[in-house]
Structure 1
Amino acid sequence: MSIADVILEKIIKTSNNNITVTDGKGIILYTNSDHWSVYDAEPKDYVGESIFELQEQGVLTPSITAVVLNEKQPIQIMQRTKRGKIIMSTAYPIFNDDGEIIRVISYAIDQTEISNLQDQYEQLERKLKGYQTEVEVLRGKEETHYRSKEMQQIAKTLQRVANTDATVLMTGESGVGKSMLARKLHTQGHRRKEPFIEVNCSTIPINLFESEMFGYESGSFTGAQRKGKQGLIEQAHNGTLFLDEIGELPLAMQAKLLKVLQEKKFMRVGGNEERYVDFRLVAATNKDLEDMVEKSEFRLDLYYRLNVIPIHIPPLRDRKEDISLLINHYVELINRKYKTAKKLHSSTYEILLKYRWPGNVRELENLIERLILTSEDTILRPNSLPVSIVGQENANMDEVSLIEQIVVEDHNLKRVVERVEKLMLSKAQKQCKSTYEMAKYLGISQPSVIRKLQKYKEPL
């Protein structure tokens, strides 16, 4: 044995890594005992033995060196020992000048603990989804019925089809509540304890769409996770897949989705094995799919597949009977969420009832949350509303009505004066850029403005 071989053998035997080197026929030349301990093999000298024989004996299942000798390229695989250990093994071939493999170097890392942690995490994730579903069911029971005939009819339709697997297509403007109704449909059906996977088709980049929807196998592309990744469709197995903004789905993905709906099978990116999947599909869009079909922007066959139970949700301006119900619902819901007890002033309530709500239910919910979080007062008065909702003319009228309301509510002159002063200071701050401008606006001296701001602790 040459000095170089002696040095190499010493390096391998004393290394903290699990290393084995074979020749071009799979005969072990160098190894260390740690390499075999991860395979639960007996501590002995394996030098001179064939990895093919060890594979037949079940010590290596499979032997990564055998794979490298067959495929003639670097390989990384996951192995399982007789006792159930998970081993990540990597091997590299070394070629001579004639292109023949003369050596194979392999490394082994015990991944059992990491794999167990991953399984525990996935179990916890499934439990969490189950708890979330139960919460949604409870929330669904607390919801008040709609007042408008259109929404009452929609609620009845959803209830009738909830326990079926019929595909539902929801149409309507953005913000009308399609996502909320899709979730309600899920929680009323027989899949309620399984996952509800919501996908906004307009937010996933086209170049990532296939891998996000169908998942990918290990090493499918640069940056891919080593163990591969479940796609959104696979995550919805046994549950409900909600595809929002389905009108944004690329034509290539439309064909793939159609195949999944027809065959209940799909294949991960970089994979060669078809996987079975079972889910209930709910789709939603604010686009005219029939018009898109005529323009060849949406597949006719997919449209027919989706349009089994069509449900059109009217905009909030066309169902004014529901506005007051929704206002009360979200005031109660958001107060509970942030542990507050704020209420709408009657004038504020009237303005919200008359507003057209171009952003529909989503705009209403967001506004109520903003009012409750940003207002210091317990009573949410019209001056808390954006000018875009009350209008400039109404905003000025609301200030007058607010002053009148202060006088009516409070008979203590000192408190009334202080409240009006605070209101005027707040108005001046919105109109002016400095305390000098505020003094001119209010008709008092600048020191008086500073003194009053400090008194009421308003920001300068």
Structure 2
Amino acid sequence: MSKLLDTIDMEKLHEGILDVLSDGIYVSDASGKTLKVNKMYEQLTGLKREEIIGKFVTDLRNQGSFDVVLNPEIVSTGQKKSSVQVTKEGRRVILNGYPVFDESGKVALVVTFVRDVTLLCQLKDQIANQQEVIDKFREVQHRDKKMQKSTVVYESQEMVKLINLLDKVAKTDATVLLLGETGAGKDVLCRLIHEHSQRKNEPFFKVDCSTIPESLIESELFGYESGAFSGANTKGKPGLFEMADKGTLFLDEIGELPLLMQSKLLRALQDQELIRVGSTKVRKFDVRFIAATNKDLEEEVKHGRFRSDLYYRLRVAVLQIPPLRERRGDILPLIRFFSEKYNAKYRKEVTYTNEVCKTFENYKWPGNVREMDNFIQSLIVTCEQETLDVSDLPHYMLRDAFNMDQSATMIDNNKTLDELMSDYEKNLIKKALDAHGSVAKVAKLLKVDRTTIFRKAKKYSLL
């Protein structure tokens, strides 16, 4: 009896030792039969001793008690092994299995230490989410550092005055409203403001209000908490206000912002506070705002499409960028700048005749600097010769140039209307023939019959 009692006491002693361990313990024999588990294992997995003792690990796996077992491989190889296991309750635990050998050197038991990694995995996911934000921030910083400082090319008096005003405004922390036509250079001037400000070493973010779907604008700007809406990141996400903290946020095309978001933006501008979507916690931020639009905001306010209080809050420092056609002194300097840029990029040495340069000056550039940038790049990419003549220019550009040139001629000459009209027609046809070399092309350009051009060219002795 005493020996049996000693055995029972030793068994309880073993169980007591296992139960005080902070790790879950799972002991199985070489056949895979479950021999012992401790209390911590029950707590970690939700599996009770009576459910698993005496059962084989492979059967338990097949029943769905858990999805991974280590015993067969450890018995086969005699090597320790680790893995992550998901229990039937969806809890993730990490398994570290070790072989226990008998006197003959064969695996007799497998002892597996079980640790809860559900919380660890959650923290890892949160860290990964934050790392994504950090990586995005660093990518923006890296991109901005790689980029040369914003280059503003100008010689006109209009732009000299504007840049002088910009320098004064940039040194303050005032909200700036940039007004101007599409392609006039609002983006470049915004970056110039940031580079000349006290926040120049802090982040710069741009958001185009016209490209973000209305349903996503709030979450993009203010961020959201976990489970804020269907399809949201389960860890939540900071918005651009938070990501631009201490730096500058450029709200491009602010005239496209929906009225509801205008109200929320106004509060953010005034209080420098935000509440993420799905949260009640107020977060402070410190951001310098620059807004831009090609719309007439006063007209938008009159028609109820833009909040008057937001408009007055934005127009602290207003910079009006004149279109390119109103600052013709900048046209040739910009042409030289873009030509040098794309000649270097595509390893070419394209130049222009004086007639081409004159055409550039007379053209209206309705798309402003952006149109010129894309046009010069296209011209250099597609040209086959080093010196471009007017014959290499598109028809619409020549038409504008002819109109400008002939208007100037009319003003300078004291002739009758009939004489002026004849001169205009003669010069127009002559330049078109010189540029395109054929009656058919000129007829197509001027949208008339081929016979009409032929007859008029004969009349003016151009053929």
TM-score range, shorter chain: 0.5 to 0.7
Report the secondary structure of 1:194's partner residue.
coil
Q: Does 1:87 align with 2:121?
A: yes
Match of 1:452 in 2: none
Report the secondary structure of 1:139's partner residue.
coil
Q: Does 1:139 align with 2:173?
A: no
Native 8 Å contact 1:210 1:269 kept in 2:
yes
Range that drifts further, 393-402 or 225-234: 393-402
Code of the residue aligned with 1:130 in structure 2: it is Q
Native 8 Å contact 1:133 1:193 kept in 2:
no
Match of 1:263 in 2: 271
TM alignment of 1:25-424, pairs within 5 A:
34=94, 79=119, 86-88=120-122, 112=124, 122-136=133-147, 138-140=148-150, 143-144=152-153, 146-391=154-399, 397=430, 401=434
Native 8 Å contact 2:94 2:114 kept in 1:
no
Pairwise CA RMSD: 3.6
TM-score (norm 1): 0.64
Match of 1:72 in 2: none
CA distance in 2, matches of 1:147, 1:2: 86
Match of 2:65 in 1: 12
Report the secondary structure of 2:94's partner residue.
helix
CA distance in 2, matches of 1:250, 1:359: 26
Native 8 Å contact 2:186 2:321 kept in 1:
yes
CA distance in 2, matches of 1:369, 1:295: 40
TM-score (norm 2): 0.64
Native 8 Å contact 1:170 1:283 kept in 2:
yes
Native 8 Å contact 1:166 1:309 kept in 2:
yes
Native 8 Å contact 1:12 1:31 kept in 2:
no
Summarize the Cα distance change of 1:18–1:224 in structure 2 as closer, same or farther, 3 Å threshold: same
Range that drifts further, 356-365 or 223-232: 223-232
Code of the residue aligned with 2:85 in structure 1: it is N
Q: Cα deviations across residues 28-62 of structure 1 (Å, max 9, x unaligned)? A: xx99963699xxxx96689xxxxxxxxxxxx89xx
Native 8 Å contact 1:20 1:31 kept in 2:
yes
Deviation for aligned residue 1:193: 2.3
CA distance in 2, matches of 1:393, 1:294: 38
Report the secondary structure of 1:325's partner residue.
helix
Deviation for aligned residue 1:380: 2.2
CA distance in 1, matches of 2:204, 2:91: 50
Deviation for aligned residue 1:251: 0.6
Q: Cα deviations across residues 180-213 of structure 1 (Å, max 9, x unaligned)? A: 1111111121222222211221122212221222
CA distance in 2, matches of 1:327, 1:36: 69
CA distance in 2, matches of 1:393, 1:319: 16
CA distance in 1, matches of 2:312, 2:121: 48
CA distance in 1, matches of 2:92, 2:375: 67
Report the secondary structure of 1:15's partner residue.
coil
Deviation for aligned residue 1:336: 2.6
Summarize the Cα distance change of 1:19–1:373 in structure 2 as closer, same or farther, 3 Å threshold: same
CA distance in 2, matches of 1:190, 1:299: 30
Deviation for aligned residue 1:269: 1.6
Report the secondary structure of 2:121's partner residue.
strand
Summarize the Cα distance change of 1:118–1:270 in structure 2 as closer, same or farther, 3 Å threshold: closer
Deviation for aligned residue 1:279: 1.2
Code of the residue aligned with 1:139 in structure 2: it is K
Range that drifts further, 385-394 or 155-164: 385-394
CA distance in 2, matches of 1:31, 1:225: 21
Native 8 Å contact 1:13 1:32 kept in 2:
no
Deviation for aligned residue 1:314: 1.3
Q: Cα deviations across residues 8-37 of structure 1 (Å, max 9, x unaligned)? A: 587535626534568xxxxxxx99963699
Deviation for aligned residue 1:372: 0.8
Range that drifts further, 157-166 or 115-124: 115-124
Range that drifts further, 374-383 or 225-234: 225-234
CA distance in 2, matches of 1:31, 1:244: 46
Report the secondary structure of 1:87's partner residue.
helix
Native 8 Å contact 1:12 1:32 kept in 2:
no
Deviation for aligned residue 1:120: 5.7
5+ unaligned residues in a row in structure 1: which ranges?
Answer: 23-29, 47-58, 61-77, 80-85, 89-110, 404-422, 432-460
Deviation for aligned residue 1:305: 1.0
Code of the residue aligned with 1:287 in structure 2: it is K
Report the secondary structure of 2:251's partner residue.
strand
Report the secondary structure of 1:282's partner residue.
strand
Q: Cα deviations across residues 371-400 of structure 1 (Å, max 9, x unaligned)? A: 011112122222221111113996975675
